[in-house]
Structure 1
Amino acid sequence: MSPKFNIKNIGFIGLGVMGMPMCINLSKNEEFNVTGFDINKEKNKILIKSGLKTALNAKDIFENNDLVITCLPGGKFVKKLYFQDKMISLVRKNQIIIDMSTSHPDLMKKINTKIKEKKSFFADAPIARTRQAAIDGKLAIMVGSDQVVFESIKPVLELVGSDIIHCGDVGSGQFTKILNNMVLFQNVLALSEASKIAERYNLDCGQLFQNISKCSGDSFALKNHGLKSIIKDNYPNPAFSVKYAQKDLSYAIDLAKKQNINTPGCNNLNELFTKAINEGYGDLYFPVIKKIL
């Protein structure tokens, strides 16, 4: 018999570059009571100024909501919250937990096992696209869960995303996100190299990218990272930083190593990310790697 979910109260942990606008967008739907929390007190103050409620701590979020969403900077933070801080012990029967961070698929499966023991439900649902997409509620969301859970959480996810993709069982959302980013990052590197070459030959890089957009080299990366960042040398902070990009790339490299797959493109890009961080660009929008070519 399929469980019946009554989602009224939603708790959101992680008010970062993407999490803050996501939490705000969730709160715009009057059907739900949304409460946010971040360990950074300044983030909580921003949320309060936006007219939203904040919790005293993560424990408060887990204890008082039907649906808990976590959106943290990476796997080590997810592992700390659920296991070291023992939030997983607070999960109650029929509660739904969604992790929207980008983490290793193995960690998602471990969390899912523990949550299932409590007769509760879990989905990994990492996000893709830009910070502006998060603000506009136009994210792509890759969900790993069983079908019943997916259908139950989809209306909530549609408040923050325009493309909600069911990728398969728990962990498959992370696989999709990690490999998507692996492809994206290398595309951005190719665009950075192309722009650098064009500049040295005194070509109009903006026109070049417009021309490529009508050819086989067209891509999401070209239209967004290329035309909005690379040709303008615009690498804002906050945005998806070099440090975050390297973290996501490290998951792809690890998955490949476990299957003895050689990934020269990933390895080269990882070295460039390390160089960018060492040269002080680590907190800037990751297309800034153009500067070190």
Structure 2
Amino acid sequence: MDLELRHLKTIRAIADAGSLTKAATVLGLAQPALSAQLKRIERALGGELFERGRHGVRATPLGEFVLARARVVLPAVSGLREEALRFGRAWEGGAGFRLGATHGPLLGALVDRLAAAHPGVPVTTHTSWSEREIASRTADGRLDFALVGTCGASTPPESELLVWREVARDPVFVMLPTGHPLAGRQEIDLAALAGEAWTDVPGDGCFADCFTAACARAGFTPSSVYETDVASCVHLVQVGRAVGLCRATFPPTHGLVTRPLAGAPLYWRHLLGWHPTAPAHDTAPAVFAQARAAHAEAAARSESYTAWLAAPSTRLP
């Protein structure tokens, strides 16, 4: 594993918090996920960084060495990004909208709405499975806006540099082939899918860990998970190779249905981010309003999501 800036941020957060539990809360991660991440970082650096005790954690000599370097490197990188942004491409009236997004229906709908509202103004896009890449490009001025998602209440990437606004939050639904024995149900218990293979799109957040934890609470471990692009996920569901995890706004698709999981064990937040000192900051309220309208339209097109929203017991954290 290559050491990245996010790993240094994790080490600093653990040291500042004094315990893995408190650091997990600050980082928006489950404590087991943070423990696993720390073990990977320690393997990469060649030794333990913290001693665990009843009263929390304390840095080892190696940990103190790494922390001293991290406290120099992290502010230096933040300063570099601020300077790069100031010298980056200045926003000129009518120059266009540069959007970065992970794959999903909201990006296309937002592009359509911006193009309709601003005829003749170019709208360019950059897509990636990595939320961190999108956020990094926005932080250093290569993109104006980041349209990404985070699992549950987890902290979005580059939160120290970017302004993030929540567009919406949705439950995670499951995709089934139309011939699946459970396809006719209005909602499905996660435990009822214990014997299935799964598919979803990749990401660099904590969703995989949260899904595994939700399955454990339901009494099983997923037999296999195929992480691949959206089109391949759809194909695997249509041919019955796997059931899929998807956002509730996933559009109607031939050969499959989407259904809510009982109790909404997983949810997803759609976020729009931008740099507060970038020229695009002035257009952020309008772009945010268009993103919210795009989400509302996507939700209205899904019969299963519309039914879920209308149910009296429906709620998310």
Same fold (TM over 0.5): no
TM-score in terms of structure 1 length: 0.32
TM-score in terms of structure 2 length: 0.30
Q: Which structure's relative contact order is higher, taking Cα pairs within 8 Å and 6+ residues apart?
A: 2
Larger-gyration structure (1/2): 2
| Structure with more helix by fraction | 1
